Structure formats: C-alpha cells, structure tokens
Amino acid sequence: GSDDIIAGNVSKYTVLPAGYCGQPKKGHLIFDSCFESGNLGRVDHITEFEYDLFIRPDTCNPRFRVWFNFTVENVKESQ
C-alpha cells in the first residue's frame, strides 16, 4: 500500500503493463534515480499515460518531500 516505507531508489526500473510478457517496447518507461541526489522510491503503472510516483523523504527531515530528481527513458512520441 501507499503507507509502505520506501527504503531505496529505483534503479533502471522498467514499468510494464499488468499481464504483459516479453521484452519492453517503446513506451514502456524506464525510471532511474540511482545517482547522487536521486530520490524516486517507487513507481506504480496506472495507464499508458499515468503513473504514481513515490518520492523518498528528504535526508535531514523525513517529514518533507520538497524536491525530486530522477530520469525517464524509452518514451515514445506523444507519450
């Protein structure tokens, strides 16, 4: 659930639709935040155009999430 503790950063995480088998295609997004200042903890696929992103709390103040830093690859045109 959304109350789960997010411990680490996603690292080259490919988001595939539920029930999809096989190699990722163009449009199956790849999220990464495994670099200095990256803070993306979890990604949930909702639809082709909608994702829920869970940002890890700030290091010095776990009550706040005032910035975000991650990359997205494998985007198709108009996505």
| 63: containing domain | 8-17+25-78
Q: Is residue 55 situated within a structural domain?
A: yes
In a domain, 30, yes or no: yes
Domain count for the chain, please give it.
1
Integer angstrom CA distances of residue 66 from 10, 56, 63? 18, 10, 10
Residue 1 maps to a domain: no
In this structure, the number of other CB atoms found within 10 A of the CB of residue 1 comes to 3
> Which pTM does this prediction carry?
0.79
Q: Residue 14: is its pLDDT beyond 60? A: yes
User: What digits encode the pLDDT tens for the residues 47-75?
Assistant: 888 999 998 887 777 787 778 899 999 99
Q: What is the pLDDT of residue 6?
A: 66
Residue 3 placed within a domain: no
